[in-house]
Structure 1
Amino acid sequence: MDFIIFIAAMTALIYGADFVIKESERIALHFNISHYVIGATLIAFGTSLPEMAASMMASYAGKSDMAVANVVGSVIFNITLVLGVVFFISKKMVPKRDLFSLDSAWIVIPVVIFFIMIQDGEISRADGILYLLLMLSYLIFLFGSSKETLESDIDEELVKEKFNWGLTIALLLVGFVLTIGGANFVVESGTNIARSFGVSEWIIGLFLIALGTSLPELVVSLVAIKKGNAEMSIGNIIGSNVANFSMVLGSASLVSPLIVDLVATKFDLFIMAAASITLVFILANKLYNRAGAIFLLIILALFIQNAV
């Protein structure tokens, strides 16, 4: 039964991602917004909803380990797995946006704030409010710094179509429901199997739930590449990681303060920091190719080896 659920869920993910990308392109075309900004806002927030729901539910249930591990694991998978695959299979990626000078700080700042917050072993409600303010700051920065014009690789068929707000919003919602719903079923079945084998809550949150809630980002990014919008996939990951720290941890800590075991989680936190720094290095050197992918996939291999 779990296998059947997995196949059905993956099918929903793929079709949902296709709706999300196509309708996001339609909105980008209508408002003359770059693919990167659409990826870092609309798509990033939409694909971060599974992490937000999972962490808030875990926080409400008093499972701080699972709530925090979900975010840590999602950030690691988003950077190493999703971007690793994106860079590996993308034939040519030449972003018009200067990603290093404009966006690298937003890869590092949320991580630095996270490490400062957990020094006392807790992410408090006050910390959560600070994170939510960070999310607001990111949005203001993103739209304020974006003076790009729409990329020329927009789907030509969309250019010919008349923009319809009602249809676009409806299809976008359907896309997110299919994408997030599919990921939820993958997480649920995987978590039940793991619990039956006595796997710890931290490993479930770090590995199964984090990987499951990163599936929307992965599938959406792969569909974006297929449609020639690789830059949208980078915006999706950077925006998703900012949302994971600020919106997800911020909301979860408002439900209940989150306790973090610094000793037990030190390796995973180290991997998260290493992945973030490596991404900044890739942006600085424009390694949007297999060389950059190899760096990220090596970090992913180290993470998986330790977790297993």
Structure 2
Amino acid sequence: MDLIIFTIAMAGLIYGADFVIKESERIALHFNISSFVIGATLVAVGTSLPEMAVSMSASAKGSADIAVANVIGSTIFNISLVLGLVFLLAKKINPHRDLFAKDSAWSLFPILIFILMGIDGKLSMFDGILFLLLMGAYLMFLINSNSLEEDIDEDLKKEKFNWLKTGVLLLIGFIFVIVGANFAIDSAGNIARSFGISEWIIGLFLVAFGTSLPELTISIKSAINNNADLAIGNIIGSNVANFTMVLGLSAIINPLNIDFSSNYFDIAAAFIATLMLVFITANKLYNKSAGIALLIVLGLVIQNSLV
């Protein structure tokens, strides 16, 4: 039964992703906003809702391991799996935005601040508030740095913009994506618990993978449709949102205990994956070789967890 639910949930994810991408592009065109900014704000926050729901619920129930591991695992999956597959599957990746000059720092800030905050073994309510302020700063930066320097979809340009139609279709798309992800998480979690897997591993892999499915489906479809800016913006924005909004709100609900000594490898892997993203953007290595390198990082994380 869980396998059937998982299959249907995946279909809903893919179907919803089509709506989200198309309507997000329509909004970007209408308001003269770049695809990257739309991907890093509207799409990123929308696809981070599953992480937010899971981590906040886990925090409220006192399951700090799942709340924190979900964010760490999502960061690893978003960069190594999602971007890795984007680089492998896309025919051509040529972002119009200078990602290194404008956005690489925002890839590093959240995880560096997380490590500094967690040295004492806990994320407090005050830490959570600081994370939310950081998200506000990121949104202000994106709005001020917006510039539309990309190819325009002529078919979309000819269509008359309709707020009601776009809003309804975008909402339907997000509902399909988020509900699909939640069902995928539940079905996978049921299977995992039957094998007696720990909360950290469930959060790091099963829950994090499940909550990363929206980013995975939307980014890959965007890349295949030659919209690399939206795909990469979605990943960077989602990672910022995961550390700032997801961990911030979770810490405000209930202080989160962090065991660096037991989970240092996974936290280090998330940091290294982020450094690799910065290196890729600095050297514009948007190719299959970079995709393979990122997938190797994921393989090492999986191997370490299975040992």
- TM-score computed with the length of structure 2 as normaliser: 0.98
Aligned partner of residue 263 in structure 1, secondary structure? helix
Distance, in Å, in 2 between the alignment partners of 1:149 and 1:221 is: 20
Distance, in Å, in 1 between the alignment partners of 2:21 and 2:92 is: 19
CA displacement, residues 248-284 of structure 1 (integer Å, 9 cap, x when unaligned) = 0000001100001111101101101110001100000
Distance, in Å, in 2 between the alignment partners of 1:275 and 1:165 is: 39
Q: How many angstroms does 1:108 deviate by?
A: 0.6
CA displacement, residues 195-237 of structure 1 (integer Å, 9 cap, x when unaligned) = 1111100000011000000000000011112322122100000
Distance, in Å, in 1 between the alignment partners of 2:72 and 2:120 is: 18
Asked if the contact 1:122–1:257 (Cα under 8 Å) also holds between the matched residues in 2, the reply is: yes
Q: Report whether the alignment pairs 1:80 with 2:80.
A: yes
Q: How many angstroms does 1:112 deviate by?
A: 0.7
* 1:242 corresponding residue in structure 2: 240
Deviates more, 1:156-165 or 1:26-35: 156-165
* 2:150 corresponding residue in structure 1: 151
Asked if the contact 2:91–2:224 (Cα under 8 Å) also holds between the matched residues in 1, the reply is: no
Asked if the contact 1:19–1:175 (Cα under 8 Å) also holds between the matched residues in 2, the reply is: yes
Distance, in Å, in 2 between the alignment partners of 1:135 and 1:72 is: 17
* 1:89 corresponding residue in structure 2: 89
Look up the equivalent residue of 1:120 and give its one-letter code: D
Q: Report whether the alignment pairs 1:134 with 2:134.
A: yes
Matches within 5 A, 1:132-281: 132-146=132-146, 148-152=147-151, 154-281=152-279
Deviates more, 1:90-99 or 1:62-71: 90-99
Q: How many residue pairs get matched?
A: 306
Look up the equivalent residue of 1:177 and give its one-letter code: I
Aligned partner of residue 226 in structure 2, secondary structure? coil
* 2:298 corresponding residue in structure 1: 300
> Alignment RMSD, CA only?
0.8
Distance, in Å, in 1 between the alignment partners of 2:164 and 2:114 is: 39
Distance, in Å, in 2 between the alignment partners of 1:72 and 1:235 is: 19
CA displacement, residues 35-88 of structure 1 (integer Å, 9 cap, x when unaligned) = 111100000000000000000000000000110000000000000000000011
CA displacement, residues 99-151 of structure 1 (integer Å, 9 cap, x when unaligned) = 001000001111110000000000000000000000000000111122x2252
* 2:284 corresponding residue in structure 1: 286
- TM-score computed with the length of structure 1 as normaliser: 0.98
Aligned partner of residue 62 in structure 2, secondary structure? coil
Q: How many angstroms does 1:156 deviate by?
A: 2.7
Distance, in Å, in 1 between the alignment partners of 2:179 and 2:36 is: 25
Distance, in Å, in 2 between the alignment partners of 1:107 and 1:225 is: 20
Instruction: Give unpaired runs (5+ residues) of structure 1.
Output: none
Q: How many angstroms does 1:155 deviate by?
A: 3.1
Look up the equivalent residue of 1:235 and give its one-letter code: G
Q: How many angstroms does 1:9 deviate by?
A: 0.5
Asked if the contact 1:123–1:259 (Cα under 8 Å) also holds between the matched residues in 2, the reply is: yes
Look up the equivalent residue of 1:256 and give its one-letter code: N
Look up the equivalent residue of 1:149 and give its one-letter code: L
Look up the equivalent residue of 2:150 and give its one-letter code: E
* 2:122 corresponding residue in structure 1: 122
Look up the equivalent residue of 1:4 and give its one-letter code: I
Distance, in Å, in 2 between the alignment partners of 1:123 and 1:305 is: 28
Instruction: Give unpaired runs (5+ residues) of structure 2.
Output: none
Asked if the contact 1:107–1:242 (Cα under 8 Å) also holds between the matched residues in 2, the reply is: yes
Look up the equivalent residue of 2:186 and give its one-letter code: E
